[in-house]
Chain A
Amino acid sequence: MSKFPSTPLPRRGWLLRAAMWLLSLAVFPVTTARAADDYVLGADSQRQPGVPEGTVTKKRWVSEKIFPGTERDFWVYVPQQYKGTEPAALLVLQDGGAYVDPQGQFRTTIVLDNLIHQGAIPVTIAVFINPGQIPATAEGQKPRANRSFEYDTLSDQYARFLLEELLPEVGRELKLTADPAHRVIGGISSGAICAFTAAWERPEAFGKVLSHVGSYTNIRGGHVYPSLIRKTERKPIRIFLQEGSNDLDNLHGSWPLANQEMAAAFKFAGYDYRFEYGDGGHNGKHGGALMPESLRWLWREHRK
């Protein structure tokens, strides 16, 4: 262990050596028991007795306007506390299938049930959206996976898809608030930069961002955000930014460095942000473990 000095200790120092040996015994199990990326879900991510369970409805959307020809699944979560009299707060998550899974890394609907029941966050409707796919029309053809195009492209196209197509569809039956402070958008990996781009393009529609191991790298030019944030008049966006030191480093860039640059840019430009930099990899374990805390923080004014 490099923590110990390499210079030989004096003969008289046997007591010190014995003490250090004992110390090493004490230290060693601690350092190995906490392996990198060893995040576990807390009580707010488990079903609790007496907490009302919201409903989740799976739906399908075929886009005709913004991403013409794409088909996708999406899920709508409605808490029992929603009565239809007042508009609900909104949480929009990309790669929805991963976030809505009650056995997955995030268990968002369970977290929402618990936090709404506790009064930690407002009554919130969540929309979980998968990326689109243009299906093959004949045997032997490949479908066109639209995830990278929709998520990694820097433009207002995905925000317009939400605001002009998908959310109006959800809003036909449910009352959603128009207050950007109660409209959170989030995602993981490319879904995270997608969420940030939607807020960046339309901060009046999405005032809060939840970013898990976000791809602020050069997949489709997203590495420009840190400099853009520094050189653009500050936008009214609150950001919870989660990243891990063991995240990807590949042809598109270094995820840990890119997220540190994002955090530094938010700090420089005076954004309301929180950076949680752990030791996880490119997955939802850390973000999932933090899910209750991140939603509390994004809605921190809610609890009186």
Chain B
Amino acid sequence: MPLRRLLIACLFATVPGLVAALHPGLARGQDMALSGVLIDNEGWQLVSQGHKFTEGPTADAAGNVYFSDIPESRIHRISPAGEVSLFASDTGKTNGLKVGPDGRLFGCRGGDRQIVAYRPDGQFEILARDVDCNDLALDDQGAIWFTDPPGGRVWHLPAGGDKKIVAEGLKPNGIGLWEGGGTLVVTDAQLPVLWTFRVAADGTLGSKERYYGPLQIPFGADRPGSDGLTLDRQGRLYVATFAGVQMFDPTGRLGGTIARPQPGPLSNVCLGGARFDHLYVTAGDKVFRRRVQATGRSLQKAP
């Protein structure tokens, strides 16, 4: 009897036990520590260097990762094996990138104030003109939401439709959608939190909340320096910051900060590689990656 009681006590002492007892819908919100993501002796590895300013990492269905070098107006491609090749040049200072469900590479062509879609041959179609676009997110149907830092706005650009403002009064930068859509996350250059919105069927945003936070701010800094973000298949969110890659669980709680590969800020992050189990970061003049336990996915539908 005492042993049985002890076993029962141990059972109830676990977090999932309490969480499930309190609120069945919270089972997802279990503690997600860095130990569930990082792998011992698997640190950052340099993948590409000699660039001016790297941004926009995003993966296609084969796990190739594309990234932009904004000042050089180039887009490069990293194969799962780690080989780097030039994908496009004269990209009009393309900044944020995202591989879409159709396999095209959607980009913020900042120098020309356009949003474009690159085909595999590097040629592109213009989807929107006269826009300030820093970064963009796509859903599985190819609808776009993009950040407009000068205007302090987030825009929605439905596939084949017209752009419209869906959020204002922010200092937006990075942007990402939860898997399946429905929830949009926007980083803010000035705040130690990330904004989260509910996405309505028509692409408009509601339920604005400072859901993720607080972010770590390095000693001596006045803000976390939040930039690009990505999500894994378990719903964890990774955001590039001054301190490193800060990882949050799906309930918005900081799970930990992954150390940056070199001094200086990180601009963006994605999961790629053949099994989507490599975390890529764009860090100034370089791109690094490391193998992790987490897995991501590409929006591109498998051919």
User: Which residues from chain A sit less than 8 Å from chain B, CB to CB?
Assistant: 32-33, 35-38, 67-70, 95, 97-98, 105, 130-131, 133-134, 136-138, 140-149, 152-153, 188-189, 191, 219-221, 246, 248, 250-252, 280-283, 285
Report the minimum CB–CB distance from B149 to chain A (whole Å).
25
Report the minimum CB–CB distance from A296 to chain B (whole Å).
25
A263–B11 CA distance with the chains assembled, in angstroms: 28
The answer to whether A282 and B21 touch (CB under 8 A), given A134-B207, A144-B211, A250-B31, is no
Interface pair B23/A131, CB less than 8 Å apart: yes
Interface pair B15/A38, CB less than 8 Å apart: no
Interface pair B251/A145, CB less than 8 Å apart: yes
Q: Give the chain B neighbours of A68 by CB distance below 8 A.
A: 206-209
Q: Which B residue's beta carbon lies closest to that of A141? A: B182
Q: Which of B12, B26, B179, B183 contacts A147 (CB 8 A)?
A: B26
Which residues of chain B (73-124) have a CB below 8 Å from chain A? none
Report the minimum CB–CB distance from B49 to chain A (whole Å).
33
Q: Give the chain B neighbours of A134 by CB distance below 8 A.
A: 183, 198, 207
Q: How many residues of B contact A (CB 8 A)?
A: 48
Q: Which of A70, A141, A188 contacts B178 (CB 8 A)?
A: A141
Q: List 18 A-B contacts (CB under 8 A).
A: A35-B9, A138-B182, A138-B201, A141-B180, A142-B28, A142-B250, A145-B28, A147-B23, A152-B253, A189-B18, A189-B22, A219-B253, A250-B31, A252-B253, A281-B10, A282-B14, A283-B13, A283-B18
Report the minimum CB–CB distance from A90 to chain B (whole Å).
22
Q: Give the chain A neighbours of B253 by CB distance below 8 A.
A: 148, 152, 219-220, 252
A141–B5 CA distance with the chains assembled, in angstroms: 40
A131–B29 CA distance with the chains assembled, in angstroms: 13
Majority secondary structure, B binding face: mixed
Q: Which of A38, A105, A137, A251 contacts B198 (CB 8 A)?
A: A137
Interface pair A149/B12, CB less than 8 Å apart: no
Q: Give the chain A neighbours of B13 by CB distance below 8 A.
A: 37, 246, 280-283
Interface pair B25/A251, CB less than 8 Å apart: no
Q: Give the chain A neighbours of B142 by CB distance below 8 A.
A: none
A130–B26 CA distance with the chains assembled, in angstroms: 12
Q: Which of B17, B25, B34, B199 contacts A133 (CB 8 A)?
A: B25
With A134-B207, A136-B180, A246-B9 known, 15 other A-B pairs at CB within 8 A are: A35-B9, A67-B209, A98-B21, A133-B25, A134-B183, A138-B182, A141-B180, A147-B29, A148-B29, A189-B18, A189-B22, A220-B254, A281-B13, A282-B14, A283-B21
Q: Give the chain B neighbours of A252 by CB distance below 8 A.
A: 31, 253
**Does residue B71 face the partner (Cβ distance < 8 Å to A)?**
no
4 closest Cβ pairs, A-B complex: A281-B13, A69-B207, A141-B182, A140-B180
**Does residue B158 face the partner (Cβ distance < 8 Å to A)?**
no
A11–B270 CA distance with the chains assembled, in angstroms: 75
Q: Which A residue's beta carbon lies closest to that of B181? A: A141
Q: Give the chain B neighbours of A38 by CB distance below 8 A.
A: 5, 9
